[in-house]
Structure 1
Amino acid sequence: MKVTQLECLCLILLHLLHTAGSERFEVLGPTDSIVAVAGDDIILPCYLKPNISAEDMTVDWLNLDFLDVCVFRYQNSEIIRDDQIPHYRGRTSLFEEELWRGNTSLKLTRVQGTDEGRYKCLIQSKSWYDDFTVQVLVKAVGSKPVVSIVGHREGGMGLLCESEGWHPEPELVWLDSKGVHLSAGPPEIHRSFKGFYRVKQYVIVQETDTNRFTCRVQQSRINEKMETEIHLPSEIFYTTPWRMTFIVLCCLGAIAVTGFSLTIYCIRKKKDFVNTNWSPDFETIRRHAVDVTLDPDSAHRKLILSDDGKQVRHGELNQVLSDNGKRFTNWSSVLGNVGFSGKFYYEVKVEGKTEWTLGVVRRSINRNERFIPIPNNGYWTLELKDGEYTANADSPVTFTPRERPQKVGVFVDYEKRQVSFYNLEAGSHIYSFTGCTFTEKLYPFFNPGGSDSISLVVCPVDVTD
């Protein structure tokens, strides 16, 4: 039978329509937002209807808040990484073994604040495409607020509260003992490169019948709050001349009594001289000196280390260094290359510097997030910043030493659960953390700060026989 040209054309059109119709599909996913807890892994569901194979299709996951930049791409049966947003690298994957039945869901690991947004799942075949959009909300409960006493301000007492690691952006409020909001200064809010918020706020308080004040950090969207209460003794508010005179006289009396007692002690022991500033067994402490060398694999990209690994300073530019998982990415810090337990001691020259942080940390600290460096987070550190010295205890202690340290000694007694700091030139004890909880080896910690270009120098310890 002879087929006409018109019949042939009709047959071709019918074939094309049948082919196109056979490849048509819908892209489906959840109708509700996905709430992700920071640090967890989540799955963004996406699948084809009917459940046809997506193995030969292009699967794109896009973050619409990044102007359609690629979160993940699967094309020509392989993963394409060229256009991927950098902070998604190593954290995204498909369930490739389930592509044959149309499962194109995305797995996102170690969720961070910047992951919040609208995600589009776009599936394309040779002749058809469809997409679906899902909203991801990120929830992160920050640290317990840390309250510190700033000192006398405008006829009252200045207090500072700070907390970090929140998402979304939290609110900080100060309350008196009756729960009434106090008038405070404007909050300072900073966001880390991972999208987590740090907030701090000053308040000036007056003496009350209880002298109890509370700092509360709260986030209404995720219905979470953390708070810390501080109690101030009444004496701290009194600054009248007669009281100051009384305090001075008491101090002088205490000094006189101490001096008299030491004199009697020296006579009884028949010693020519007693250095009352040094710890009685300080030379014994120094005999526990260890050789500390800085670990370049842990150093932040802006830190410049000397060739011998004994000096570190802050540079202006990020260096091109490997992303090895050990490196500090949010703090300009570096660790010693060896961890210790038992008793160990080292010395660091800080002469001429206007900013630094020294101490020890647990090996398991998170080096990709900026935590407050307190014992609860695995840090036992002393710092100089803005002209003030602070022992970063769970309730930080700020003080002004009689003599500025030019060289600092750090001593750890693992069994006694103590970390102590010494001013070498002045021959004095600076501060000790006591009752510490140690569960793993401790590593020397160094942060040279960014306010000067002078190096922190790990010094050899000269032990007198």
Structure 2
Amino acid sequence: MVTGPDSLYVTLLILLHSLTSESVKFEVLGPTEPIVAVAGDDIILPCYLKPNISVEDMTVDWRNLDSTDDLVYRYQNGKNILEDQIPSYRERTSLFKEELWRGNTSLKLTRVQGSDEGHYECLIQSESWYEEIKMQVFVKAVGSRPVVSIEGHREGGMGLVCQSEGWHPEPDLVWLDSKGVSLSAGPPKTHRDIKGLYTVKQHVIVQETDTNLFTCRVSQSRIKEKVETEVYIPSE
């Protein structure tokens, strides 16, 4: 029977092994409020274990639950697994490798895109236990100041077109006269690019008024942003 300092050393080794063994149960913790990211910025999606045990021998999965192919990032057996990763996340995702030994599995996401918005899951799995946490990410992008062009005479008046790009979420576009009254116009055309940002465009036919001033206003209520451009139409 081992006694004295040697006995204490053996006891500490057994305790350390029990704390780092994959048989230990754990919780996965993360944010309780949605994360708001600005398009083009880098963000961190928090996720960590309680107790703060090492995940170096575990599997860490990050998934975007709103995507058909949902794998954002996978760490397994000490390596990054790139197979089945959503192509748009390649070279934009990473873990803090120096923090894995104490249970920090937060994901760094660089150059945020509109298409990154969604519900995310951080799943940690050992040989005998797994837990996950879900979080929501909102992406905000304020588009360009509207560009207004005069198309020339149309049946019933003068044709104008307005376009603004680089928005997220999808914005609203409205034409206004000099008194702030909405003008009747056809439905706007919306295009979403490969990064998930929106371009909106709308045509309108206006008639001559006492001021000949008209405004194209583009706004997004969720992010409380609006931009507008005023145009003057010379009298005939």
Q: TM-score, normalization: structure 2?
A: 0.90
- Which whole-Å deviations, capped at 9, do the CAs of 1:161-194 have from their partners, x for residues lacking one? 0011100000000001111110011100111111
RMSD of aligned Cα (Å): 1.5
Q: Does 1:134 align with 2:159?
A: no
Paired amino acid for 1:197:
Y
The equivalent of 1:289 in structure 2 is none
| Kept in 1: contact 2:191–2:199 (CA 8 A) | yes
Cα distance in 2 for partners of 1:225, 1:187 equals 16
Judging by fraction of residues, say which structure has more strand: 2
C-alpha displacement of 1:45: 0.2
Q: Which runs of 5+ in 1 are unaligned?
A: 1-17, 236-465
| Kept in 1: contact 2:170–2:198 (CA 8 A) | yes
The equivalent of 1:175 in structure 2 is 176
- Which whole-Å deviations, capped at 9, do the CAs of 1:431-461 have from their partners, x for residues lacking one? xxxxxxxxxxxxxxxxxxxxxxxxxxxxxxx
Larger mean Cα displacement after TM superposition, 173-182 or 66-75 = 66-75
Q: Where do residues 8-87 of structure 1 align in structure 2 (5 Å cutoff)? A: 23-67=24-68, 69-87=70-88
Cα distance in 2 for partners of 1:178, 1:69 equals 49
C-alpha displacement of 1:69: 2.2
Paired amino acid for 1:148:
S
Cα distance in 2 for partners of 1:67, 1:45 equals 23
C-alpha displacement of 1:21: 9.8
| Kept in 1: contact 2:163–2:200 (CA 8 A) | yes
| Kept in 1: contact 2:23–2:128 (CA 8 A) | no
C-alpha displacement of 1:233: 1.4
Cα distance in 2 for partners of 1:63, 1:88 equals 10
Name the structure, 1 or 2, with higher relative contact order (CA <8 Å, separation 6+): 2
Q: Where do residues 359-438 of structure 1 align in structure 2 (5 Å cutoff)? A: none
The equivalent of 2:120 in structure 1 is 119
Paired amino acid for 1:76:
N
Q: TM-score, normalization: structure 1?
A: 0.46
Cα distance in 2 for partners of 1:21, 1:214 equals 64
| Kept in 1: contact 2:215–2:228 (CA 8 A) | yes
The equivalent of 2:218 in structure 1 is 217
Cα distance in 2 for partners of 1:220, 1:159 equals 25
SS at match of 1:228: strand
Q: Where do residues 164-313 of structure 1 align in structure 2 (5 Å cutoff)? A: 164-235=165-236
Cα distance in 1 for partners of 2:128, 2:217 equals 57
How many pairs does the alignment contain?
Answer: 218
Identity %: 76
Cα distance in 2 for partners of 1:94, 1:21 equals 20
| Kept in 1: contact 2:62–2:120 (CA 8 A) | yes
| Kept in 1: contact 2:22–2:127 (CA 8 A) | no
Cα distance in 2 for partners of 1:21, 1:109 equals 31
Q: Given the superposition, is the C-alpha separation of residues 59 and 160 from structure 1 closer, same or farther in structure 2, using an over 3 Å criterion?
A: same
C-alpha displacement of 1:154: 1.5
SS at match of 1:99: helix
Structure 1's consecutive aligned runs of 4 or more residues displaced over 2 angstroms after TM superposition are 18-22
SS at match of 1:136: strand
| Kept in 1: contact 2:69–2:86 (CA 8 A) | no
Judging by fraction of residues, say which structure has more helix: 1
The equivalent of 1:103 in structure 2 is 104
- Which whole-Å deviations, capped at 9, do the CAs of 1:83-142 have from their partners, x for residues lacking one? 111010000000010011110000000000100001100000111000000100000011
Cα distance in 1 for partners of 2:151, 2:69 equals 47
